[in-house]
Amino acid sequence: MSYSITFTTREGGVSEGPFASLNLGLLTDDDPGRVDENRRLLCRRVGADHARLAMNRQVHGSAFNRAVAGRRGTPGDGLWTDEPRLPLLVLAADCLPIALARTSGSAALALLHAGRVGLLEGIVEAGIAVLGEGELEATVGPGIGACCYEVGDEVADAYRRRFGSGILAGRRLDLRGVAHRLLEEGGVARIEHVEACTACDEPRYFSHRRDGPRTGRQGAIAYIS
């Protein structure tokens, strides 16, 4: 079995201004026609069928949906399939996009949108469970780093209760460290990271924390080959 997994940057699309240039998010102030064209460009570049592209309406939680070709509006932050050539897309602008792939037995693939709420609510555990038995590999994409992600007392306290004090440096929260720990605890055999902070790297990534609401979305697109 083989998988195609791609994490995008903000480069290579047709959007302009704060959304320049490969903005994949429709729920922004960008022109919808440009967003659709960006998605078509991305699908073409990775060899995917745009008409079959499956997406969730992300709500910062832990709900999972089975992907259906062309369906793009069901609420949830996890999407999975065991169907070959069915492309999945998740979006992010600081949260972590995570790809999970089954590497033994039959092929299966999941994409997760993992932010501070979803990580606490169990999005990683849900992704591991939905793929069931078999060895898994994970790739954690670009997201806001502990260098830039300062949180308030309520969030910090919730994470300390769940993960211990080591997951924070003062008020700075290490989402990537949390995700890695959860994947390890779930028995994922191999974990790789795209070591990039979306808030630090303005030329390459959109960041809601850095730029506010008028910004775009990068993403992860994947399918079973």
Residue ranges of the domains in the chain?
3-224
pLDDT of residue 133: 85
Q: What is the pTM of this model?
A: 0.98
**pLDDT tens column, 174-221:** 999 999 999 999 999 999 999 999 999 999 999 999 999 999 999 999
Q: How far is CA 217 from the centre of its chain?
A: 10
Where are the extended beta strands (E) located within 71-193? 74-75, 78-81, 88-92, 96-102, 109-114, 136-140, 168-169, 172-173, 190-193
pLDDT of residue 1: 76
Q: What is the mean pLDDT of residues 119-144?
A: 97
CATH assignment of 3-224? 3.60.140.10
**pLDDT tens column, 77-102:** 999 999 999 999 999 999 999 999 99
**% of the chain beyond a pLDDT of 70:** 100
